[in-house]
Amino acid sequence: QSALTQPASVSGSPGQSITISCTGTNIDIGRYNLVSWYQQYPGKVPKVIIYEDVQRPSGVSNRFSASKSGNTASLTISGLQAEDEADYYCCTYGGSAIFWVFGGGTKLTVL
Partner 1 sequence: QVQLQESGPGLVNPSQTLSLTCSVSGDSINDGSYWWTWIRQFPGKGLEWLGYIYYSGSAWYRPSLRGRLAMSIDTSNNQFSLKLSSVTAADTAMYYCARAIYKNGVVVISFDVWGQGTMVTVSS
- The site for partner 1 (CB under 8 A) is made up of 2, 34, 36, 38, 45-48, 51-52, 57, 87, 89, 91, 93, 97-102, 104-105
Report the residue number, 80 or 92, with the smaller CB distance to partner 1: 92
Least distance CB 32 / partner 1 (angstroms): 8
Q: Are strands 106-110 and 9-12 parallel, antiparallel or unpaired?
A: parallel
DSSP string, 29-79: TTT-S--EEEEE-TTS--EEEEBTTTB--TTS-TTEEEEEETTEEEEEE-S
Least distance CB 85 / partner 1 (angstroms): 15
Q: Which of 69, 40, 39 is nearest to 53 (CA)?
A: 69
Report the residue number, 38 or 64, with the smaller CB distance to partner 1: 38
Least distance CB 15 / partner 1 (angstroms): 28
Least distance CB 79 / partner 1 (angstroms): 24
What whole-number distance in Å separates Cα of residue 26 and Cα of residue 56? 24
Report the residue number, 13 or 96, with the smaller CB distance to partner 1: 96
